Amino acid sequence: MSARHPNDFVPDAPSYFRALTSDGVSSPPPGLRKAKGKKPLAKKPHTTTAPIDWEIPRKTLHSSIGFLTLWLYTSQGSSRNVVVVLSAGLAVIIPVDILRLRSPRFERLFERSVGFLMRESEKRSSNGVIWYMLGVVFVLSVYPLDIAVVSIMILSWADTAASTIGRLWGSRTPSLPPRMPIIPLPLASRKSVAGFAAAAITGACIAVGFWGWIVPLYSTINSWHWPATAMLGDQVPDTTGGWVGLSVLGVVSGLVSGIAEALDLGSLDDNLTLPIISGGCLWGFFKLVGFFS
């Protein structure tokens, strides 16, 4: 008979299974302790991606203002009447919003009615619609009409594009730095390069399309004049500067739109700051170009 190994399983020899320890408590032999002491394989944690809130009702309303503004401009609507209507609306909306923040009962009623258009942060602070209307009233009252219209469309479309593309592809691109590399302006590091690029491209398309095609067709008021004015076949001056002038306009407008949308100005709402900053920068750029005309 072959000799058994000390760790072999022996049914009729309980001493092979159990050995007394120094304190009299029985324990399995080393071979079995190793077998029983193996740790189970760790399961990989199941990660779930939170669903993206696209804010479709809010973005639909936000974007529709740009189309309404463009329609009013091409149909020769009065900007003064728009300012009067918006100011009257603010006279109603601001007291309603104050009541909403002070009365829980009215707040519940308000949110059941139009809460789907509000962000969670707005439910505890002032409504973004107020800042939107204030920004529109300001640019229509202060800036030339064509610049005011473009600044409203930048607010309506560039801001929406930045938010949508940022939600879609923002996780695949780096976050914005806390400050700009050349001019140390504060940027919102929670925003992404994808959103910045979307706002810049949209702003460039708005400016080129508006001053390149809309203004020559529907208006005689044009704040954009390229110094190297070319003469067309019918001897009408081309104030856009052709593709060279429009390209410069597009690059500047794109940078202005992207930076204005990405600025971190503390508690100031971007619905107020975006049209004011973008319109003011474009107006200043036009003045600079006009100086060399």
pLDDT band at 60 (very low <50, low <70, confident <90, very high): very high
* Nearest CA-CA partner of 279 in 140, 90, 72: 140
Per-residue pLDDT, averaged over 229-250, amounts to 70
Smallest CA-to-CA distance from 257 within 239, 282, 236, 238 is with 282
The torsion of the CA quartet 102, 268, 195, 130, rounded to 10 degrees, works out to 50
62-94 core/surface letters (b: 16 or more CB in 10 A; e: else): bbebbeebbebbeeeeebeebbeebeeebeeee
Q: Which amino acid is at 239?
A: T
What's residue 202's pLDDT?
A: 98
pLDDT of residue 45: 56
Report the pLDDT value the prediction gives residue 30, as an integer from 0 to 100.
55
Provide the mean pLDDT of the chain: 84
Query: Average of pLDDT values for 226-230?
Result: 64
Q: Hey, what are 280's tokens?
A: 């003011």
Q: Give the pTM.
A: 0.80
Q: What is the pLDDT of residue 233?
A: 47
pLDDT at 66: 96
Quote the distance between the C-alpha of residue 164 and its chain's center.
Answer: 7
CA neighbours closer than 13 Å in the CB half-sphere of residue 273: 14
For residue 293, the model assigns a pLDDT of 67
Listed by start position, the domains of the chain span 56-291
236 or 133, which is more confident: 133
Nearest alpha carbon to residue 90 among 141, 130, 139, 138: 130
